[in-house]
Amino acid sequence: MDTIRLVSPVDGSVYAERPASSLEAAREALAKARAAQVAWAATPLEARVAAVRAGIAALGEKRALLAEELAWQMGRPIRYGGEMGGVEERASHMAAIAADALAPETIEDGPRARRMIAREPVGTVLVVAPWNYPYLTAINTIVPALIAGNAVVLKAASQTLLTGERLAEAMRAGGVPDGVFQSLVLAHETTEALIRARAFGFVNFTGSVGGGRAIESAAAGTFTGTGLELGGKDPGYVRADADLEAAIDGLMDGAMFNSGQCCCGIERIYVHARHYDAFVEGAVAWASKLRLGNPLDPETTLGPMAHRRFAALVREQVAEAVAAGARALVDPALFPADDGGAYLAPQVLVGVDHGMRVMREESFGPVVGIMKVADDEEAIALMNDSDFGLTASIWTSDLDAAAAIGARLETGTVFMNRCDYLDPALCWTGCKDTGRGAALSRLGYLSVTRPKSFHLRRLG
C-alpha cells in the first residue's frame, strides 16, 4: 500500500503520513456516498443549510489549531490566523443565497399547465484541493455542493494532508450524515481511474495546468462535468492617476503574501512612466521590510515556501532573468534565513521583458517583475500577453477608465484598487490556461446541479 508523506517546510521533517486508499477501498467509499446522497438530497433545504453552517462553525472553533497546522504543513505564518475568515465569509454567503439560487424557475403555473425548470444535485462531487489555500479553495465547491444535496468526496493535497481530516470532523460535528462528506487519501492514479469509471457527477480541481490536463483527459468520453482552476500570472497596472502609496502597498502585498503562493497573486506589474521610479523605490523598500523566518514565530511575516522544489523553481527563474539583463533590487543580505532551500528571500526585478520565464510562466513565489509603460494601450497589450487569465488589478482614480480597460482584458476578474481577493457574491472564474468553470456567487450552484424541465399539462 502506498504511503503519502507530508514533509514540513519548517524543518524538513515528516510532519504526517497516511496510507493511500486502494482502488477497491475508494470504490467502497463511493458506494457509501451514493447510498447516503439519496436521503441527503431528500432532506429539506433548510436542514441541509443548517448542517453545513454548523459544520463551518465547528471548523472555526479550531482556528488556532488549524493555523498552527497550516504553518507546519505549508509554511504560512501563524500571525495571519489561518483561513477561517475567508471560509466563514464564503460559506455564509453561499448558504444565504441557496434558497434563491436553487429555486425552480417557473415559466407558467395556471389552469392549463405548470411549466418550470428545477435544479437537481449531480450526485457525488469530487473536490481535488490544492495546498496553498486548502480550506478556502475546497470550501468554494464543498459548501454549495452539500447544500444542493450532493455527496462530496474531498482529496486533500499531499502537502496539506490534515486539512481533509479536519473538514470531515467538522462536517460530522455539524450534523452532515455519515457518508455524505468523506475525505479520502488518494494517489493520482486512483483518482484518475475513478474519474474514468464515471464515479462522479462533477469534478472540481484546483492546481497546475498539467494536473488539469490529467483530470480533463481522465474525464474524456465520460461526459463528467469538470471545473478547473489552474493558476495564473496575474498582472497589476498602475495608471498615471493612481494613488501611488496605496498601489505600492496593495500590489506588493498581493505579490508577497503567503510567500507568493496565491493563484491570484500579483506576479507582474506595469507602471506608468510618471510613477515608475517612485513605485520601484517603494516596492523595494516594502519587500525589504519583510521578516523571513519560522512561520510559528508571531514576528515572521514571510514563511518558507511549501517545498524546497518550489523555491528552486523561483530561484531558477530569477537567475535566468538576471543573466538575460534583469536587475534584482532586494539585497539578499537582509534575509539571513534564506537557506537555499524552502526559505526564500523576496525579490523585485526590473529590466525584465516578456522573453523571460519570470514574466511568462507562473512563479508562485515571492518575486515580482516591474515594467514601465507609456499609456493604457501598452499596459493592456502586456497584460493580455499571457497564457493565463485569472485576475487583473488596475490602480486608478477613474472608475470608468478601469471599467473600459477591464472590458478589454482577457481575464476572469477585474479589480480596481485592490487585488488577491475572492468576493463570494461574484463569480470566480478564469480563461485561457487558467482553466474553466465558475465557483461562488449564484453561478457556483450551476456546476453542482443539473437542470430538469417539467411540463405538466392539465387535461380538460
Residue with cell 493558476: 231
What domains can be seen in the chain, in order of their start residue?
A: 3-230+434-457 (3.40.605.10), 234-423 (3.40.309.10)
**Average confidence (pLDDT) over 321-345:** 98
Instruction: Compute the distance between CA of residue 410 and CA of residue 389 in angstroms, rounded to an integer.
Output: 6
Q: What percentage of residues in the chain have a pLDDT greater than 90?
A: 99
Quick check: 1 pLDDT over 70?
A: no
Neighbours of 396 (CB within 10 A): 21
Q: What is the pLDDT of residues 192-203, one digit of tens each?
A: 999 999 999 999
Instruction: Compute the distance between CA of residue 74 and CA of residue 289 in angstroms, rounded to an integer.
Output: 22
Catalytic residue annotation: 229, 263
Q: What is the pLDDT of residues 280-299, one digit of tens each?
A: 999 999 999 999 999 999 99
Q: What percentage of residues in the chain have a pLDDT greater than 70?
A: 100
**Average confidence (pLDDT) over 363-378:** 98
CA distances in angstroms from 440 to 9, 53, 63, 97, 344, listed in the order given: 31, 16, 23, 10, 33
**Average confidence (pLDDT) over 270-284:** 98
Instruction: Compute the distance between CA of residue 395 and CA of residue 153 in angstroms, rounded to an integer.
Output: 40
Q: Do 76 and 303 form a contact (C-beta atoms < 8 A)?
A: yes
Return the closest-CA partner of residue 3 out of 152, 149, 185: 185
pLDDT tier at 458, thresholds 50, 70, 90: very high
What mean pLDDT value characterizes the chain?
97
CA distances in angstroms from 441 to 91, 240, 342, 391, listed in the order given: 11, 33, 36, 16
What is the predicted pLDDT for the residue at 300? 98
Q: Is 184 helix (H, G, I), strand (E, B) or coil?
A: coil
Task: Record the pTM.
Answer: 0.97
The H or E element containing residue 238 is: strand 234-238
What is the predicted pLDDT for the residue at 47? 98
What is the predicted pLDDT for the residue at 389? 98
Q: What is the pLDDT of residues 47-66, one digit of tens each?
A: 999 999 999 999 999 999 99
pLDDT tier at 231, thresholds 50, 70, 90: confident
Instruction: Compute the distance between CA of residue 282 and CA of residue 294 in angstroms, rounded to an integer.
Output: 26
**Average confidence (pLDDT) over 102-123:** 97
Report DSSP letters for 318-362, one per residue: HHHHHHTT-EE-S-GGG-TT--SSS----EEEES--TTSGGGTS-
Instruction: Compute the distance between CA of residue 74 and CA of residue 232 in angstroms, rounded to an integer.
Output: 20
Q: What is the pLDDT of residues 380-427, one digit of tens each?
A: 999 999 999 999 999 999 999 999 999 999 999 999 999 989 999 999
Quick check: 175 pLDDT over 80?
A: yes
End-to-end CA distance of the chain: 66
Q: What is the pLDDT of residues 12-23, one digit of tens each?
A: 999 999 999 999
Q: What is the pLDDT of residues 64-95, one digit of tens each?
A: 999 999 999 999 999 999 999 999 999 999 99
Amino acid at 47: A
CA 274 centroid distance within chain: 34
Quick check: 352 pLDDT over 90?
A: yes
Q: What is the pLDDT of residues 131-153, one digit of tens each?
A: 999 999 999 999 999 999 999 99
